Structure 1
Amino acid sequence: MIEFLFTPDDVARVRFAFSPLWELAHSLRVLADPSRRALHMPWVRAVRPRLRRLDLTPLHALVPADGYIPDFLTPPPESPVPDFATELALVRATPAHSVVEEIRHVGLRSKGTAPLDERRQAMIEEPERTLAHVTDLLGAYWEAALEEYWPRIQSLLETDVLRRSRALTERGAEGLFAGLHEAVRWHGDRLAVQRTWQYRGALAGHGLILVPSVFVWPSVSVMTPPYRPMLSYPVNGVATLWETAPAAPPDALAALIGRRRAGLLLALAGPASTTELARRLAVTPGAISQHLGVLRACGLVTGRRVGRRVLYARTASGDALAEAGGAIDMDVTERD
C-alpha cells in the first residue's frame, strides 16, 4: 500500500501534467503484452509494421510487461504540457550511477534488487554507452509509433485535466480523487493507492503531480521520493481514442438540428477540441468550427481555453437536448 499524507497546503499544490515519455514507456508495455491491454489493439496493429526496422530489444529489456521501469526513463513532468525533445534531453543527462542503480531494479514488483540477466548486466557495465543508445532508440521509436498519434492523445489528456480541475474546484480533494481508479482512495487527509510495495510519507507542502495517461490503462502507476511524488491514472474516455467511425445520432435529434450537428452534440459528452472532434466525426476542422458556432449561438455548447487549445463541452441545455433526443428515439422504437 502507498500512502501520501496531505496537509491543506498539499491539496492546494496538487497539479496536473502529462508526459510524452510516460506514454512512450507504457506503450512499450502494450507491445510486450497486447492481450492484457486489448483496448489498444488498433494502435498495435497500425504500428507493428513500422517497427520492423527497429531493434527494440534494449527498450523491452528496460521496460518489461510488469514491474519497475527505470525512473530515468520517466522523469516527472516539469511543465503542464511538456515537449518530447525536452524530456528526451533530461533522459540523456541522467548520471551514470543512476542508470546503473535503476537498471538493477527493473521488473521488480516491490522495492529491492532484481537478478540481472545477461543483457542488463552488459548495460550496467557501460552505462554511458547504454544511455546514449537507449536515448537514440527512444527518439526513433517515438517517430515511428507515437508522433503521429500524439495530437489526439494530447487532446484526450487535456480534456481529462479540465474535467478533474473542475471537480477539484467544486468539491475539493474528495471530488478530485472520486472515481479516479478502483485502486485509489481518499481518506480525508491521506491518499491510499493499492500497490504490491509499501510506502508511507508526508508530502510536506510539495503537493502531488497527477498524470492522466492513455497507455497506463488499466492500472495506475506511482512515483515516490526521492523523485517528485506522482500518481498516473487511466485517462477518462480512453476507449474512444482509436475509434474511427462515430455512432449514428438518434433520428429525432437529427431531424431537429441536422444529422451532422446532432452527431457533434453527442460527441461532446465530454470536453473535446476542434481537432479531436474532426477526427472522431471524419470531417474537416473548418466544418466542425462552423457547426460549433451554430450550437454555441443556440446555447447548447460552450468553449473554454486550456493552454493553447479551446475545449468544447455541452451546456446543461445541450445535455437535456441530447438526452431527450435519445429518449424520444427509444420511445418510438418501442412503440414500433
Structure 2
Amino acid sequence: MLSELAFSADDLALTRFAISPMWEVVTSFRLLAMDSAHPVHRTWIDQVRPRVAAARLDSGHLAELIPASRYLPDFLTPPPDEPAPTLDTELAAIRATPADQVLADLDVLGGTGPLGRALRADPEAVLVRVAEEIEVYWGLALAPYWAKIRVVLDADVFHRARQVAERGAGHLFNDLHSTVSWDDNTLRLVRRHCGIRRETTGSGLLLVPSVFADGMLTWSRSPEPPQLAYPARGTGTLWEHRPVAHIEAIARVLGRSRSVILAELEAPASTTELARRTGISAAGVSQHLTALRDAGMVSAHRAGHSVLYARTTIAESLLGATA
C-alpha cells in the first residue's frame, strides 16, 4: 500500500517533533510479544521479559490491546501537546478518550475478547484499569531504562532539527526511513498496513522517534495532526557495554564505592545484586544508593517484591563525559 500525505506551507510550518512515553510502551510491549529474538534489544528483552511474565502482564489488558502485529489502537498513543510529555500526562489523555473513539478503534482492532467486550460495555471504567496496567508495565520495563532511552531520543531529535536547519525539510523526510520519500510537496510511505492521507487528518505532522519501533508507524484521526513514529538513530548502540573510562577521576569526587556502584548500574539492579557484584555489604550499598539518589544520580523503581536502581541522565552524562 502506498500512502501519500500532501503538504501545504502551513502543514510544513506545523510539523514538529515530540518524545512520547506511550509510543515506547506500545512498541516495546509488541517487541516482547514476538517469539523471535531481536538482535538489538536482546539484552533488554532478557532482563524484562521475566518481570513482565511474573506480573502476568503478558496475558493482561495490554496483551489483548497490543497484538504482535497488525493495528495498534489509536487511543493508546494520544497526540502529545508538548515536546516531551510525562507518562502521567499521556495516561490522563487515555483515560479521557471519548467512548466513540474507543469503540471505533476496537472495530478496527477486532476486539472481541474479554477486554474488548468490557470496553464496549463501560469504556470509562475499563480505561482506568488499562492505565493502571500501563503504569505497572512502565515501572517494570521502561522506567529503569528511561535515562538511557531519553539520551538516544533527544539525540535523534537534535540531529533531525539540525538537518532541517542546514538542508531543509525535504532532506529530513528522505532520511527518516527507506520506506519514506519526499517529492512534490508530498510525503510518500510504502508498505503501510494503514493508509494515511491529508483528507482524513488535521494540519501539520507530528514526528515521534522510537527506540523500539522496527519500522514506520502511523496515527491518523481528524482534526488532530497525523503522527509518524520512526526508528530513532543510535538505537543500535543503546544496550552496548561501555566500560567507564577514568573511573579513578570520578572516584576522587564521589568516592570509590559510589563510583563502582554507578559503573555497575549500566543495567538496573537491586541492592542484593549490587552487593554481590561489587563485594560491598548490602547495608553499605543501601547507604551509598541513598546518597546517590539524594544527589539525583540514581532513581528507584519497584519491580515486584524488589526495587531496581538505575542511573539517571545526570549520572549518564557524568560517566559519558569521562569516556
Same fold (TM over 0.5): yes
Tell me if 1:154 matches 2:150: yes
Alpha-carbon distance in structure 2 between the residues aligned to 1:77 and 1:162: 18
TM-score calculated relative to the size of structure 1: 0.68
Aligned to 1:8: 9
1:243 to 237, 240, 244: 240
1:164 to 150, 157, 160: 160
Paired AA for residue 49 in structure 2: R
Paired AA for residue 14 in structure 1: T
Change (3 A) 1:116 1:10: same
Q: Answer yes or no: is the 8 Å Cα contact 2:201–2:221 preserved in 1.
A: no
Alpha-carbon distance in structure 2 between the residues aligned to 1:219 and 1:53: 29
2:131 to 114, 129, 135: 135
Aligned to 1:100: 103
Superposition CA RMSD, Å:
2.6
Aligned pairs for 1:285-304 (under 5 A) are: 285-286=317-318, 288-289=320-321, 291=322
Aligned pairs for 1:32-71 (under 5 A) are: 32-35=33-36, 37-56=38-57, 57-71=60-74
Tell me if 1:212 matches 2:213: no
Deviations 1:39-95 (A, max 9, x none): 212111111232234232211100001111111111011111111111111111122
Q: Which runs of 5+ in 2 are unaligned?
A: 246-296, 298-310
Tell me if 1:228 matches 2:228: no
Alpha-carbon distance in structure 1 between the residues aligned to 2:130 and 2:316: 38
How far apart are 1:147 and its partner, in Å?
A: 0.4
Aligned pairs for 1:294-333 (under 5 A) are: none
Q: Aligned to 1:186, what secondary structure does the other structure show? A: strand
Deviations 1:148-202 (A, max 9, x none): 1111111101101111111111111221112211110101300011113433326
How far apart are 1:132 and its partner, in Å?
A: 1.6
Change (3 A) 1:65 1:45: same
Aligned to 1:177: 173
How far apart are 1:287 and its partner, in Å?
A: 6.0
Tell me if 1:29 matches 2:26: no
Change (3 A) 1:169 1:35: same
TM-score calculated relative to the size of structure 2: 0.71
Alpha-carbon distance in structure 2 between the residues aligned to 1:172 and 1:178: 10
Alpha-carbon distance in structure 1 between the residues aligned to 2:122 and 2:95: 15
Change (3 A) 1:157 1:34: farther
How far apart are 1:36 and its partner, in Å?
A: 6.3
Q: Answer yes or no: is the 8 Å Cα contact 1:184–1:193 preserved in 2.
A: yes
Change (3 A) 1:34 1:156: farther
Q: Answer yes or no: is the 8 Å Cα contact 2:217–2:228 preserved in 1.
A: yes
Q: Aligned to 2:158, what secondary structure does the other structure show? A: helix
Alpha-carbon distance in structure 1 between the residues aligned to 2:316 and 2:124: 47
